[in-house]
Amino acid sequence: MTGGAWIASYVMLWIAVAVLGLAVVALLRQIGVLHARMRPLGVHFGGEGPERLAPAPAGERFDYGAAALTLVAFTSPTCTICASLLPGLRALSHTYREVAVEVVSHDRATEALFAAFNVRSTPYFVAVDRRGLVQARGIANSLEQIEVMVDEALDQSNPDPDREVGDAQAG
């Protein structure tokens, strides 16, 4: 073989190695995405919010006894993640019949409520059981994380395995 043929073969081999390297990186990314979808993590505590199993504040604003679980969602008008979660939050009360969803948007009128719950960032969620005790709380960036939190809070507050769950959970 001539020198030009060797150089061409080496260039072709390095191009093949680069393409295969990019394919491996793309596949690793997809494996991470699939792993997250198969078992989404719950909410992240973030070091704020009311203490778990402590009485929830603002009992006069929310009727915690009206549902097995009240999910208080703290949002902000400037939060893009909050905006993307709002339609799912509305549907959540239809999926889980025993969950009441209360959305609190940050403004001057709700600053005291944010302070009472010790919430400094959005989107932040607090799950309160019928007795008014905080069962779960934390920051969530997806509806799947919120659903994991709601399921765990319902299991903790209502250990009955035959609890009513909406059609989306049954099938």
- Asked if residue 82 and residue 26 are part of one domain, the reply reads no
- Asked if residue 133 and residue 78 are part of one domain, the reply reads yes
| Domain residue limits at 94 | 64-161
Lowest mean pLDDT among 49-58, 79-88, 143-152, 156-165: 156-165
- Asked if residue 127 and residue 83 are part of one domain, the reply reads yes
Show the tokens assigned to 22.
Answer: 């990019």
Question: In this predicted model, what pLDDT tens digit does every residue of 30-64 receive, in sequence order?
Answer: 887 776 565 555 666 677 788 888 888 877 888 88
Q: Is residue 171 part of a domain?
A: no
Question: In this predicted model, what pLDDT tens digit does every residue of 87-126 receive, in sequence order?
Answer: 888 888 788 889 999 999 999 999 999 999 999 888 999 9
Q: Is residue 93 part of a domain?
A: yes
Q: Residue 170: what pLDDT?
A: 40
- Asked if residue 70 and residue 18 are part of one domain, the reply reads no
**Strand, helix or coil at 151?**
helix
State how many domains the chain has.
2
- Asked if residue 86 and residue 135 are part of one domain, the reply reads yes
11-48 CB burial, b ≥16 within 10 A, e <16: eeeeeeeeeeeeeeeeeeeeeeeeeeeeeeebbeeeee
